[in-house]
Structure 1
Amino acid sequence: MRKERLALGFFLCTAVFFFLSVCDKRFLTPKFSKKAVEDSLTAYEKLFAGAPHRAYDKEGRGGYINKEGEWVIKAQYLAVKPFREGYAAVQDADTELWGYIDVHGKTVIKPKFMEAGSFINGSTAVKEPEGGFGIIDRRGKFIVEPIYRTISYFKEGFACAEDMETGEYWFLNEEGEKVFGPYKGAFLFHDGKALVKETEENRDWFYIDKKGKKYPFNEEVEIVMAKWYGDGEDDFWTENEYLDFSEGYPEYINDSCVAVNEKGEAISPEYKYLEPFDRDGYALAKIQKGEDEFYGIVDKQYNWVIEPEYSSLYKSDYGYVIAEKKEWEESGRVDYVVMDLKGNVVFTDWKEDEIVLNYDSDLSKGNPLPAYTKKNDVWKMGYIDWDHSILIPFKYDDAYAFAEDGSYAVVEKNGLYGVIDKKGNWILKPKFGGFSLYGIHDMD
């Protein structure tokens, strides 16, 4: 009987093992996508997701910290850039040349460049001390030789480079070979096409596809605005721009700013000025009335959601608009108001108040508002509520807007930077000579 029970137990264990080995493992081991994990993090935690965050010490040397504010990569560099694809560009304090480190602080590409970008899709642009710009891979080997005056990232298989001698532009393939050109002007490929021109005129643009075939573009359009490909850190070259007209993009036709489509046709009314649409689908627009100019906000159908009746207007990234009317300024009573995107006034700033809202900030719903006041003839900053009540005392030299989720704000005190929560408690005490507001580690 005992042998039978042992045999039965062995059989059941074998059956369970077999079941576990062949059934769909998705039901046994939960797997979370990178995006799902990132979405669960606070904005503060995202600063440190996958890599330490850059900061500077009291002496102005750059390094990288963890979320507790501890130096995990010693502050020893003249300048530091954010991690991208596991590498960060750092400027050596002795040679003043740029190289690359990994997330552990190990040098992976020795400092030997005058300029160095962040990695995107396994490559980046750099500048040789005695040469020009080229493109390297993650081993530091040149894919494109450093012989160009300026150069872009690779986008859709091509980089745009400016000839050192002629100033003309060429498209290079991923082997570094010239394939299309020369052009007097060129934007990066987007959705399989690139806008280029063969003359100096700013109205002679046309498209090419990835085989070099030409497509017409409205010759009346003057190109003045473009989108930036990258993280904005690498402003030492200017070729990382591209155009996306799929939803309309503002350019100029006959001195009027209009949204144009992929053919260069106007698809909006004429404005004195029009900004690109933000992530919420709204854009700032300016019109002319007599000798005066007025600002408002339009939606993607170019309907006014906030009428153009304001002499100045600032739109935050989080759904609020700070506006001022000329008559308010002249009356001396109201300085400006904060409105939502339906035109409802949610905050009024009175000129006689001792506390003034910092209207350059990106205001977000439910978060303390950065403001300033004068104490003993010295301006100090703190945070107020939407009803003007003081939430965090005025004791900072500078104070930035809270992240949209309210998880942190960067402040400056006695010349050093720290990080606080919504109650004014220190997340990181003020001990940094510089602290980046944003973390950019990887690019989708």
Structure 2
Amino acid sequence: MNNQFYRAGKFLLSALNICWKLGVVTLGVGIIILVVFIAKEIQKDNLRGGEQLSAYVKVYTKDGYKSLYNERETEFTLERLDWVSHGVGEDRIGVYSKNLRRGFYNYDTGEPLADAIYDKAWNFSEGLGAVESNGMLGFVDRDMKMVIPQKFHIVRASDDWPDAIRFQDGQCVLRLTPDSVGVIDKSGQWRIPPVYQSISELTSDSCRVVEKNGQFGIIDYVGQLIFEPQYDAVRITNPSVAVVAKDGYQKKDYIFRHCATIICI
């Protein structure tokens, strides 16, 4: 009988001990749930307003800094940023600035793709993004690998944000200095040497207006001159037609397969 009472008492004490432990665990879990709930309520209060960046990403501003918030994952992905770029293209990769350095982020998730390690960076185009460090410019791919080395020395008159550096139909206009502009391909080779003062974007005829010594001409996609820079102004008005001006007179130039006929108008 005494042994039965002993075993029953021991079992009861064990059960009480288990219940006590479970109670502490339950209380701890309850406290954690309460803390998480309060944190989310505080976060909701702080997330009023905001600017919609993409379908699931918003930009919030606090104390002069920008933060990216993924609404689907209900979490901040990047915080205390100087600024973030907008209007990204099909690559869906944008630029952010933190502590005056540049990195890349995923436009659709807000997730960082590259740390802010560059002096300058530009939105992606055709799978490549331009980056600059210590005045040397190169290009990274979507995996953030440097596929065009930082071999282009960029010199500017000020620290102003430069014109967009982007690829169009496999080519990119690069301004090395105010009077040294050329065009590279995706291998980083010069298609049009940097000997011009300005080069326009490609037209529907795959031509560009170039400027040299204050005079304007037309060059094709592969870098062959159609018109030498000899005009005071050149304007490509529609496919195969350009209007040029020289010494106060205008002429209409027809461009057919890299040949030109000049007709006075």
How far apart are 1:314 and its partner, in Å?
2.4
Residue 279 of structure 1 aligns with an amino acid whose one-letter code is S
How far apart are 1:315 and its partner, in Å?
2.7
Correspondence for 2:181 among 246, 257, 268? 257
2:215 counterpart residue number:
294
Q: Secondary structure of 1:268's partner?
A: strand
**Which sits farther off after the overlay, 240-249 or 153-162?**
240-249
Q: Would the aligned equivalents of 1:285 and 1:298 in 2 still touch at CA under 8 Å?
A: yes
2:25 counterpart residue number:
none
Q: Would the aligned equivalents of 1:112 and 1:128 in 2 still touch at CA under 8 Å?
A: no
2:198 counterpart residue number:
273
Q: Would the aligned equivalents of 1:218 and 1:263 in 2 still touch at CA under 8 Å?
A: no
1:41 counterpart residue number:
none
How far apart are 1:261 and its partner, in Å?
2.0
TM-score of the superposed pair, with normalisation by structure 1: 0.38
Identity %: 14
Residue 104 of structure 2 aligns with an amino acid whose one-letter code is F
Q: Secondary structure of 1:316's partner?
A: strand
User: Within 2, Cα distance between the matches of 1:193 and 1:265?
Assistant: 15
TM-superposition CA deviations, 1:178-235 (whole Å, max 9, x none)? 3412221112334444332333x2xx223334444334525234388xxxxxxxxxxx
2:227 counterpart residue number:
306
How far apart are 1:249 and its partner, in Å?
2.3
How far apart are 1:161 and its partner, in Å?
0.7
How far apart are 1:259 and its partner, in Å?
1.5
User: Within 1, Cα distance between the matches of 2:110 and 2:236?
Assistant: 42
TM-superposition CA deviations, 1:149-192 (whole Å, max 9, x none)? 221246635332112xx211122345434341222111233444
1:37 counterpart residue number:
none
Q: Would the aligned equivalents of 2:105 and 2:114 in 1 still touch at CA under 8 Å?
A: yes
Relative contact order, CA 8 A, sep 6+: which one is greater?
Answer: 1
Which protein has the bigger strand share? 2
Shift in CA distance, 193/310, structure 1 to aligned 2, threshold 3 Å: closer
Q: Secondary structure of 2:82's partner?
A: strand
Shift in CA distance, 281/183, structure 1 to aligned 2, threshold 3 Å: same
The answer to whether 1:341 aligns with 2:255 is yes
1:284 counterpart residue number:
209
Q: Secondary structure of 1:341's partner?
A: strand
2:149 counterpart residue number:
217
How far apart are 1:299 and its partner, in Å?
1.4
Residue 205 of structure 1 aligns with an amino acid whose one-letter code is L
Residue 258 of structure 1 aligns with an amino acid whose one-letter code is G
Residue 167 of structure 2 aligns with an amino acid whose one-letter code is D
User: Within 2, Cα distance between the matches of 1:276 and 1:324?
Assistant: 20
TM-superposition CA deviations, 1:59-101 (whole Å, max 9, x none)? xxxxxxxxxxxxxxxxxxxxxxxxxxxxxxxxxxxxxxxxxxx
1:158 counterpart residue number:
93
How far apart are 1:251 and its partner, in Å?
1.6
Correspondence for 1:325 among 216, 235, 246? 246
Residue 339 of structure 1 aligns with an amino acid whose one-letter code is D
User: Within 2, Cα distance between the matches of 1:207 and 1:324?
Assistant: 38
Q: Would the aligned equivalents of 1:338 and 1:346 in 2 still touch at CA under 8 Å?
A: yes
User: Within 1, Cα distance between the matches of 2:240 and 2:101?
Assistant: 42
| Structure 2 residues not aligned, in runs of 5+ | 1-47
Residue 280 of structure 1 aligns with an amino acid whose one-letter code is D
- Whose Rg is larger? 2
How far apart are 1:274 and its partner, in Å?
1.8
How far apart are 1:147 and its partner, in Å?
3.7
TM-score of the superposed pair, with normalisation by structure 2: 0.58
Shift in CA distance, 267/124, structure 1 to aligned 2, threshold 3 Å: same
Q: Would the aligned equivalents of 1:250 and 1:260 in 2 still touch at CA under 8 Å?
A: yes
Shift in CA distance, 246/175, structure 1 to aligned 2, threshold 3 Å: same
Which protein has the bigger helix share? 2
User: Within 2, Cα distance between the matches of 1:319 and 1:149?
Assistant: 45
The answer to whether 1:243 aligns with 2:157 is no
Report the number of matched residues. 204
Shift in CA distance, 339/206, structure 1 to aligned 2, threshold 3 Å: closer
User: Within 2, Cα distance between the matches of 1:277 and 1:209?
Assistant: 23
User: Within 1, Cα distance between the matches of 2:102 and 2:82?
Assistant: 10
Q: Would the aligned equivalents of 1:320 and 1:341 in 2 still touch at CA under 8 Å?
A: yes
